[in-house]
Amino acid sequence: MKKLGFIGGGNMAEALMRGLVAGKIFKPADLIASDVDAKRRQMIKRKLKIEITADNRAVVRESRAILLAVKPQQIDEVLSDLATVFAPPAPGPASRGAKPPRPIAVKDRLFISIAAGITLARFTAALGAKARVVRVMPNAPAMVGQGMAALVRAPGASKADLAFATRLFSAVGDAVALDDEGLLDAVTALSGSGPAYVYLFVKALADAGVAEGLPAALAIRMALKTVRGAEENMRRSTMDAAELIRIVASPGGTTEAALRSFGESGFDAIVGRALQAAAQRSRELGRS
């Protein structure tokens, strides 16, 4: 038996595989992955030296825990296929001398999902009320070991299941367990989609620098370093954001002029509406 199987071998799944192996949490021999794309399967096998397959059901049969890394739009089809693994064998004449395969109970497997917006209820409806499911909202910086993930468990999953899943995502950043699944829509809007907001802000900052005469390469370099330095300073400081802003924004200075312009443009409201839109879309994905 493999310790962990992956259904879906996209960028996030690959980042987790790489982090788990690099962190020596698992050996390559402990992992198996499936993906619909043959080239993707071969790339994962070549880079990570883990077992690969085109059969999602084989991953379920051969793994104690299964991480579902498929798109939300594909989840119902995938779950319907996986549910057949737990169905009793069809009646019929047995082959002479052959033993029927030992049936797998759904409680014998742990399912960990990173499909955005897909509720625990969707999983238990497909797999059964006793299914052990942990729902996770990770984010893209996991691909560079700086991810942020939030996790919540279904009633059928134990605290040990949640701890196991938390350990997986801690291998590629930070991870926090939540008691309220309803908070995951807000998590999706803030940290799940949040990297794109940062990319947008950095691009806008660099573009504005170019408009003021800076070379493009220098503008993006300065914007990136400024964001990284500000993040590090804020993380280390005991002061809140308002106090840190006050320290930088000297009265009558350049920063104060820029902040005034942000305020006049409704910067806080723009960010608030963006998060509301993302959270609403997460809820819609869960209902669809």
Domain range list for the chain: 4-184, 194-287
Position 73 scores a pLDDT of 87
Helix (H) or strand (E) holding 252: none
Position 138 scores a pLDDT of 94
Kindly state the average pLDDT of the residues 248-263: 96
Position 98 scores a pLDDT of 59
Which residues, 6 or more positions from 170, have their beta carbon under 8 angstroms from its beta carbon?
none
Helix (H) or strand (E) holding 153: strand 147-153
Q: Are 248 and 258 in contact (CB under 8 A)?
A: no
Kindly state the average pLDDT of the residues 160-165: 97
pLDDT in tens, 15-49: 999 999 988 999 999 999 999 999 999 999 999 99
Q: What is the mean pLDDT of the chain?
A: 92
Give the predicted TM-score (pTM) of the model. 0.86
pLDDT in tens, 90-127: 566 655 555 655 668 899 999 999 988 889 999 999 99
Q: Are 214 and 222 in contact (CB under 8 A)?
A: yes
Q: Which CATH class is domain 4-184?
A: alpha beta
Q: Are 282 and 114 in contact (CB under 8 A)?
A: no
Position 100 scores a pLDDT of 58
Position 92 scores a pLDDT of 61
pLDDT at 249 over 60: yes
CATH of domain 194-287: 1.10.3730.10
